[in-house]
Amino acid sequence: MKKRVGIIGCGNMGTAILKAVAKSPGHQVTSYDIDKKRLKDTAKKYKIKAAKDIPDLVKKCDIIVLAVKPKDIEEVLSGARYDINTSKILISVAAGVTTASIESVVQKKIAIVRAMPNMPALIQAGISAVCRGRFASDKDLSAAKELFKNIGEVVEVEEDAMNAVTAISGSGPAYFFFLVEILIKMGRELGLKDGVAAKLAVETILGSARLLKETGESPEALRSRVTSKGGTTEAAFKIFLKNGLEEIIKNGIREGAKHVHTLKFFSGGRPGN
């Protein structure tokens, strides 16, 4: 029997999930988006079903993924709560919205799983962290893990760790892209042609990531192997350390994690932006 999966929200993450799950054997995917053109185009492109509204999707699906912005969660849930029953699994990928908050709106003892995937999910190379709500069983959590394995690796955490997950792997791709931006800019400044600077930066990052994963060595150990005493890399690191680069990055990540706490959500209110 096919698992009936419903995706509410056809933005970047919702589309990444639905297109990967649609390719996976044993899944039947239905989607819904408030933008009717986007919904129609997405359904046609990935050969999935389009629901006429949220209650229609909820009735037809066993697993419902809320892939909408935090500020829209309560409105979506309010429209779906009468059709959600205890046989269904509700999965939210909205940053900062707790399982308890969702329970307070749904007002039923249903299985809720909170997930935090990241941008590489767009090419099925992401990593997602998942945690369970009060009424989610081991079987429910396993079903959620299997779903998110379609877009990359999956780890399980306690819910109080989800803000840290958001700051590290959720925001992490942006930090990575920023470093690549700098490498390309400096390549140009040092006289490289645009295409050469970009290729050198991107391939260096890709190769370094593979080396880190495949050797199993720590980043500190690999960094020390590149940083020869008296060499160019050491000279660069002296400037990084002198200007407090490590603390700047740490403080930025701390601020990001703290900002997740400001995304308050409760029945009768709206989460922040």
pLDDT digits (tens, 9 = 90+) for 162-185: 999 999 999 999 999 999 999 999
Helices (H) and strands (E) in the chain, counts: 12, 8
Q: 10 Å Cβ neighbour count for 38?
A: 16
Measuring CA to CA, which residue among 95, 75, 15 is closest to residue 32? 15
Give the pLDDT of residue 258: 87
Give the pLDDT of residue 272: 34
Pair of tokens at residue 91: 């999965």
Give the pLDDT of residue 268: 41
The partner residues of 65 in beta bridges, in order of sequence, read: 7, 91
Instruction: Please give the model's pTM, rounded to 2 decimal places.
Output: 0.89
Question: Which residue has 């991107």 as its token pair?
Answer: 202
C-alpha 163/C-alpha 111 separation (Å) is 21
Give the pLDDT of residue 265: 52
- DSSP states of 79-141: HHTTT--TT-EEEE--TT--HHHHHHHH-S--EEEEEE--GGGGGT-EEEEEEE-TT--HHHH
Give the pLDDT of residue 271: 36
- Ordered by where they begin, the domains of the chain are 3-158 (3.40.50.720), 172-260 (1.10.3730.10)
Pair of tokens at residue 175: 């930090």
Provide long-range contacts, Cβ within 8 A and 24+ apart, for 164-169: 164/257, 165/116, 165/129, 166/95, 166/96, 166/116, 166/256, 166/257, 166/260, 167/253, 167/254, 167/256, 167/257, 167/260, 168/253, 169/116, 169/118, 169/127, 169/129
The partner residues of 6 in beta bridges, in order of sequence, read: 30, 64
Give the pLDDT of residue 81: 82
Low-confidence ranges of the chain (pLDDT < 70): 1, 261-273
Give the pLDDT of residue 2: 77
Length in residues, the chain: 273
